[in-house]
Structure 1
Amino acid sequence: MASSFVIPLESNPDVLNKYLEKLGVASKYDLVDVFGLDDDGLNCVPRPTKALILLFPVSDAYEEFRKKQDVELSAKPPTIPENLFFVRQYVRNSCGTMALVHAVLNNLSSIELKDDSVMKKFYEKAKELTPEERGRLLEQNSAFIEIHQALAEEGQTAAPPSDEIANKHFITLVSIGNELFELDGSKNFPVSHGATSDEKFLFDAARVCKEFMARDPKELNFTIMAYANAQ
């Protein structure tokens, strides 16, 4: 059985791009830092942008909001597009891996997976499963876990013990059928944030990031990466 907890990843494009390479993602797309959410900052992000990944502090204000939102979604489950690939998170501190999985496997029309790679094998087994079954499959995937652990130790900051719960969390924002979705494996459902388009996606996703920041105006520890055509 794979470990039920891992060392948390940091928001470091160099490390995470290496992780994607080891998982077998053969793509012209790379993770790059987003340094500002105003128009000037967003206009510096390479295009096209396929996903936005936000790392944010797990505060009391966020936890209160998350619980309220989960009650609302459970009472009225959202309609989820059939081609949206969503995975529940069951391995503690693995939200960085979940964010990458959600970014890549919701953009397979643009992204190539190498034959016989860790990511492609997982996708082929998981594509017809429920989000819960996908999460359990990933929990048992020793190749994913081993690569995660190795790359987590390559970050620029000292890694905390893997059995400690990280106080930051990754989510991914993607466009599916011109609808903006927040994908967070710790939640029971994807969260729709309304209509978007290829041209507006980056700006619409940035708006959602600003909403996270507005819930914790005293917090400064937010980082954002774009999965974009950086070549």
Structure 2
Amino acid sequence: FLHNLGVPAKWQLVDVYGLDADILAVVPRPVLAVLLLFPWSVKFTDFNATKEDGTEKDQTVSDKVYFLKQVISNACGTIALIHSVANNTDKIQLGDGHLKQFIDDTIQMNPEERGRIPLAPDENEPVFFHFVAFVEKEGSLYELDGRKSSPINHGSTSPDTLLEDAAEVCKKYIEHDPENLRFTVVALTAAVN
């Protein structure tokens, strides 16, 4: 799927089977982005509201971060993938296709304008899960959640520690619903031959 969008075969999405250091060590490097899929519930609505009230207001966000506001329902997976690729176009040379065209067409727009470009999901489907993406930009770890008004800066990271630093944030999500086993983490990494 990723390659059909114009992402070269030298990049892939891989499952991250756990968030402990020994399991993270087997994930191919470099890691360009981490995507977290989590079950949507009241617990996460409250958790995200707390982050919205505090973190976002007093943070610095690089103008180099490509952020797309989600204005339609059921588009979070697509938006997380766009966030992952669009924030790494210095490393991923996209081939011609819909994704490259979308990014090129929206790069000068603000997040709300980008969000109004149709992505064609079925808005009437119920939402049970939500995707967010984590990327490194200019030495900071950003959480990109299209439902938020802006990216969330989680502090320092590097291309070498992105996976481990994003895993720590993912653990905080899991701590809010530890009985739930329906979390998935994938990483955009170099392809393994």
| Common fold: TM-score over 0.5 | yes
Choose which of 68, 75, 87 in structure 2 pairs with 1:94: 75
More helix by share: 1
Task: Select the residue among 96, 112, 116 that pairs with 2:93.
Answer: 112
Give the corresponding residue for 1:30: 12
Q: Does the CA-based 8 Å contact 1:78-1:189 persist in structure 2?
A: no
- Checking the alignment, whether the CA contact within 8 Å between 2:37 and 2:184 is kept in structure 1 is yes
1:157-176 aligned at under 5 Å gives the runs 163-176=124-137
CA distance in 2, matches of 1:67, 1:58: 13
Q: Specify every segment of 5 or more residues in structure 1 that has no aligned partner in the other structure, as ranges.
A: 1-17, 150-160
| Residue equivalent to 2:141 | 180
TM-score normalised over the length of structure 2: 0.93
**5+ long unaligned stretches in structure 2:** none
Instruction: For residue 79 of structure 1, report the CA deviation from its aligned partner.
Output: 2.5
Match of 2:109 among 125, 129, 134: 129
Give 1:27 shift.
4.4
Structure 1: 4+ residue segments shifted above 6 A: none
Aligned residues: 192
Task: For residue 186 of structure 2, give the secondary structure of its aligned residue in structure 1.
Answer: strand
Give the % identical residues. Answer: 41
The Cα shift of 1:162 comes to: 5.9
1:210 and 2:171 correspond: yes
Mapped partners of 2:54, 2:91: distance in 1: 34
Residue-by-residue CA offset, 1:186-225 (whole Å, 9 max, x unaligned): 1111111110112211110110110100111111110110
Distance 2:34 2:75 in 1: 17
CA contact (8 A) 1:102 1:183 kept: yes
Q: TM-score, normalised by structure 1?
A: 0.78
> Which amino acid letter does the alignment assign opposite residue 110 of structure 1?
K
The residue aligned with 1:10 is none
Please provide the CA RMSD for this pair. 1.6
Question: What's the CA shift string for 1:65-104, capped at 9, x where partnerless?
Answer: 2122223356x25322111000001221111000100000
The AA in structure 2 aligned to 1:90 is V
